[in-house]
Amino acid sequence: MDDDLKEKEIEEETIEPDEPAQSDSIEAGPPDYEVVGGEDTAEEEGLGEKLKKVRKELKVCQKERDDYLAGWQRAKADFINARKDEEKMRDESFKIMKEHILKEFLEVGDSLEMAIRAAPTEGLERIYGQFLDLLKQHGVTPYESSGKKFDPMMHEAIEREETDDESKDEMILEELAKGYKFNGRVLRPARVKVGVLSAKGGSASGGKK
């Protein structure tokens, strides 16, 4: 009996109560949510400001471009006008020089004409005809003045002769040297003798009235 009691005590000493098993899983708390709404708004505002800045810079660039373009167009127009003016002045200078040379040739024509009047020959007349053809090739042509009314723009009065005939007053009585035109404009006026109504003719005409 004593042996049974001893075994019972040993069993009681060795057997210990089981401890509750600890769970390996850790109870998770509520998920952490990242607040992003405020950051998105700030980013959008930043983009809007950048966009405004870019638009403003673009307007400035467009204005500068328009200014440069307008300036270039004005400079181009000024250059074209200056070039046209230069060409016009050059043409005018050439025309003046050509007119001066042609006037010198006209003096030769006057000499030929006077020689033909003094002693006409077939040779002189042929040379004079060639001379007139040469002038015509350069736009120079003679015009008739005899029997026409005196025009200071086309005639140079070398002599004045009194006349009792009222119909001959201020009329060209004789052409002393031909007048010439260059491209339709008077190159040299004709040298002429002009009739002038005498005082006697004028008084007689007044008495008739």
- Which residues make Cβ contacts (< 8 Å) with residue 180, sequence separation at least 6? 102, 106, 135, 140, 141, 142, 143, 186, 187, 188
What does the block give as tokens for 168?
Answer: 């001959």
State pLDDT tens for residues 4-28.
Answer: 555 555 555 554 555 554 544 445 5
| Count of beta carbons in the 10 Å neighbourhood of residue 158 | 13
State pLDDT tens for residues 124-164.
Answer: 999 999 999 999 999 999 999 999 999 999 999 999 999 99
State pLDDT tens for residues 71-89.
Answer: 888 888 888 998 888 888 8
Report pLDDT for 46.
75
pTM, to two decimals: 0.56
- Which residues make Cβ contacts (< 8 Å) with residue 188, sequence separation at least 6? 103, 106, 179, 180
Q: Name which of 163, 171, 109 is nearest 135 in CA terms.
A: 109
| Count of beta carbons in the 10 Å neighbourhood of residue 203 | 10
Per-residue pLDDT band for 208 (boundaries 50, 70, 90) equals very low
Report pLDDT for 158.
94
